[in-house]
Amino acid sequence: MSRILVVEDNEDLAFGLRKVLEFEGYEVEVANEGEAGLDSARGAPPDLLILDIMLPGKSGFDVLRELRISGHRFPILILTARSQESDVVLGFDFGADDYVTKPFSTAELLARVRALLRRVQTGTEGSAGGREAGASDVMTFGDVELSSSTRTVFRGGEPVELTPKEFDLLVALLERRGAVISRQELLKEVWGYGNANVNTRTVDVHLSELRRKLENDPAHPRYILTVRKAGYRLSR
């Protein structure tokens, strides 16, 4: 039985999340503030942390950052009522694996929970969908060099810090260089979503960050391209 820690200060929402998750067979613990959630996560690391961003005292961002700095690698799904893309990006930079924007549907939340836990159970978390390094360990485009075995990226000889999902997304694009890959295919391969109808901007946010970090002009990318109504591709 997977154990999920929910850190949410809205008592009604926390109660609802507990009941929904317990009905699905998960063991659930709830904390109503950031400090208590941080202590719980450190004391008995869960299989998955569902973390609200707007918390009294220590914010969700603080909890997320401190857990990642201290080496905890369990998946973290952030909940946010904010619509600003910058807040979502900040969450990813601190090490979040996925996000849900309030209000959200139960079906959407459960789909993401299952996807995150599936990657943990199959040992694919942080490993680009289980791909193994082979003869083509080092891949390049422009002045960017990526090593799948060391999970490192260099641009112009300087290291570039990518989040785990940004790295996995870049690998997926590199492995299909020149070909178009749809948003649904990326959601399935990189995030493990079996339901192609999940409504999420996760791919778009991550692609935006890759362009910001790897393109000379992110607003007019040369390599990481959007193909209208079809998907994305990495140019040759």
Share of the chain above pLDDT 70, in %: 87
Are 34 and 76 contained in the same domain? yes
In a domain, 39, yes or no: yes
Looking at the fold, whether 20 and 94 belong to one and the same domain comes out as yes
Contact 50, 79 (CB under 8 A): yes
What is the number of helices (H) and of strands (E) in the chain? Answer: 8, 11
Domain for residue 130, yes or no?
A: no
Is residue 77 situated within a structural domain?
Answer: yes
On whether both 11 and 110 belong to a single domain, the answer is: yes
Domain-located, residue 127: no
Q: pLDDT by residue (tens digit) across 36-82?
A: 999 999 999 999 999 999 998 899 999 999 999 888 989 999 998 76
Q: Which two tokens stand for residue 69?
A: 């700095």
**Both 112 and 8 in a single domain?**
yes
Could you tell me which of 145, 138, 129, 165 has the C-alpha nearest to residue 214?
145
- pLDDT of 213: 94
Residues 7 and 116 in one domain: yes
102-111, 192-201, 209-218 — which is least confidently predicted?
Answer: 192-201
pLDDT in tens, 106-138: 988 898 898 888 866 655 444 333 333 333 478
Q: Which domain holds residue 202?
A: 138-234
pLDDT category, 195, cuts 50, 70, 90?
Answer: low
- In whole angstroms, what is the distance from residue 234 CA to residue 46 CA? 37
Domain count for the chain, please give it.
2
What is the C-alpha to C-alpha distance for residues 10 and 14, in angstroms, rounded to an integer? 6
Q: What is the CATH number of the domain that holds 168?
A: 1.10.10.10
* pLDDT of res. 84: 63
pTM above 0.85, yes or no: no
